[in-house]
Structure 1
Amino acid sequence: MKKIIFLCLSLLLISCKDKNKEIAVVASTDTKQNQNSKIDHQLREVKKAVIAPKIDGDMNDPIWKETLWYAFDQKWLGEDYTFKDFFGRYKMAWTTEALYILVEIKDDKLYDQHKDPLTLWWDDDCVEIFIDEDNSGGNHQFNNNAFAYHVALDGNVVDLDESQNPVLYNSHVKTKRVTKDDVSVWEFEVTVYDDSYKEGKVNDPVILQKDKKLGFAIAYNDNDGSKERENFIGSVFIPGEEKNLGWIDADVFGTILLVE
């Protein structure tokens, strides 16, 4: 009789442990789902390049003849501007190694007042590329949940690190700009890193694959000679009065889907 009671108690204990494990798994899954709560908006497909574009500021790569232009058409900061002052558009492609971005900017005056790339970098003319590797959204102001790469006219790439300091990320973004009159053609090769990235450590880039989603936005800081930037013009509509949120909140990024 004692053996039977002991056996029943053992089975009950095992059952309770299994149930607790099941609850823990469900709780863990729910937490992960809550963390990845970004709602996709401006969902755009990005085509894979059979031949990776050459980063030379030239539009003649085969993939650029097969892809669509998208506009910089959202005023995030500043007064209204005219076509003479600014016009911008971009294309995108990918390979397993990187994202590729072609940008054409019409800007009547290129201005780089700060020669130190880590001083007030956002007040000079620059392209800003926002990447959220897992499309999870959320705060990334002083962490690597997402990146906001400010690419200056001289090719230096700046973002804030986890210690709230500006850091050069030139190894993340390879770029070339060719300017003729008031039109600049920029090409970018962006190596993608996930939120495990640590400054000063060995970090493996993400291998991109078909059907992967990433958070993405792109913008242009325009300054024609003022102490501070005069306009900040982006690619994604941001609701509400405060538009300068990309450097803080990855929820406002659009979503790109990698396709073949």
Structure 2
Amino acid sequence: MKWTIYLLLLLGVFSCAEVKNKKNSQASPVSYIKDAPTLDGRAIENYWNLLDWKPIDQNWIGGPFDHDDYNGRYKIAWNEDGLYLLLEIVDNTILDKTEDPLKLWWNDDCVIVYVDEDNSGGQHRFNHNAFTYHVALDGNVVDLGVDKKPTLYNDHITSKHQTEGNTTYWEMFVKVYPGIYNDDPNIKPVVLTENKKIGFALAYADNDNSEERENLIGSVFVAGENKNKGWIDANVFGTLQLVK
């Protein structure tokens, strides 16, 4: 009995250590903006010029790629209503071949937004302890619902993009929902506040004309051979700290 209690306590210590490490994982401060940008895929607001670019350059799936085939970076800001994203994606082929947004949504070119409202980490495949939003070129937003089926979350993320040559600029507004969200529309997004920490990552799925996506390129370093863990495990997300 004593050994059982000891082992349980030891496991508790390791679990706490994992959460603590997650809270400090690849931390990044995020600046406050008072006025929301006009979501039109054009970074005309002056405050976008004041924010630093952050890379989306970690190859999670696929072989090597060159700069002309893919290059990505983003800027991020916040206010009480949610997160605001500006992405610059260089991609020589933009593909959206699956018309049904709930079928093979991960194989078309899309932006993937990973959000863990309380930065707690942990599993989230069939729950909303965290979200893996696939934002398609047509604006549809897909994640797995609590019923284990693909579900549209178009009211969670609003996006617009503009393409100039091989470069596509995306602007997004992301509402941040709590981990208790269970697909009940009565559960509202949280009001963001200064010093709040949010688990977060971005990725871009790149398909130049294959049956499956050729690369998945993320914004955070993931250790180990299996780097495509974010859609299940929020422990690999980075950490945003909201500042003013």
Normalising by the residue count of structure 1, what TM-score does the alignment of the two structures yield? 0.86
Q: Which residue number in structure 2 is paired with residue 140 of structure 1?
A: 124
Equivalent in 93, 96, 121 of residue 109 of structure 1: 93
**Larger gyration radius, structure 1 or structure 2:** 1
Q: Which amino acid aligns with 2:109?
A: D
8 A contact 1:53–1:63 mirrored in 2: no
Structure 2 Cα separation of the partners of residues 205 and 121 of structure 1: 25
Structure 2 Cα separation of the partners of residues 110 and 145 of structure 1: 31
Structure 1 Cα separation of the partners of residues 26 and 179 of structure 2: 23
Q: Which residue number in structure 2 is paired with residue 243 of structure 1?
A: 227
Does residue 224 of structure 2 align to residue 230 of structure 1? Answer: no
Structure 1 Cα separation of the partners of residues 179 and 18 of structure 2: 13
Structure 1 Cα separation of the partners of residues 46 and 95 of structure 2: 32
Structure 2 Cα separation of the partners of residues 195 and 39 of structure 1: 16
CA RMSD across the alignment? 1.8
8 A contact 2:109–2:204 mirrored in 1: yes
Does residue 68 of structure 2 align to residue 76 of structure 1? Answer: no
Q: Which residue number in structure 2 is paired with residue 66 of structure 1?
A: 50
Does residue 136 of structure 2 align to residue 167 of structure 1? Answer: no
User: Does the residue aligned with 1:100 lie in a helix, a strand or coil?
Assistant: strand
Does residue 28 of structure 2 align to residue 44 of structure 1? Answer: yes
Equivalent in 140, 147, 161 of residue 177 of structure 1: 161
Q: Quote how far apart the aligned CAs of 1:200 are.
A: 3.6
Structure 2 Cα separation of the partners of residues 163 and 198 of structure 1: 9
8 A contact 2:127–2:182 mirrored in 1: no
Q: Which residue number in structure 2 is paired with residue 20 of structure 1?
A: none
Q: Summarize the alignment of residues 85-100 of structure 1 with structure 2, pairs less than 5 Å apart.
A: 85-100=69-84
Equivalent in 101, 119, 126 of residue 103 of structure 2: 119
Identity among equivalent pairs (%): 49
Q: Quote how far apart the aligned CAs of 1:254 are.
A: 0.3
8 A contact 1:210–1:259 mirrored in 2: yes
Structure 2 Cα separation of the partners of residues 93 and 61 of structure 1: 12
Q: Which amino acid aligns with 1:140?
A: H
Equivalent in 49, 54, 57 of residue 41 of structure 2: 57
Q: Quote how far apart the aligned CAs of 1:157 are.
A: 0.3
Aligned length: 232
Structure 2 Cα separation of the partners of residues 248 and 62 of structure 1: 37
Q: Which amino acid aligns with 2:55?
A: A
Q: Which amino acid aligns with 1:60?
A: I
User: Does the residue aligned with 2:41 lie in a helix, a strand or coil?
Assistant: coil
Unaligned 5+ segments in structure 2 are 1-12
Q: Which residue number in structure 2 is paired with residue 198 of structure 1?
A: 182
Q: Quote how far apart the aligned CAs of 1:50 are.
A: 2.1
8 A contact 1:110–1:224 mirrored in 2: yes
Structure 2 Cα separation of the partners of residues 62 and 148 of structure 1: 30
Q: Which amino acid aligns with 1:74?
A: Q
Deviation track 1:215-240 (CA, whole Å, cap 9, x = no partner) reads 00000000000000000000000000
More helix by share: 1
Unaligned 5+ segments in structure 1 are 1-29
Structure 1 Cα separation of the partners of residues 176 and 234 of structure 2: 15
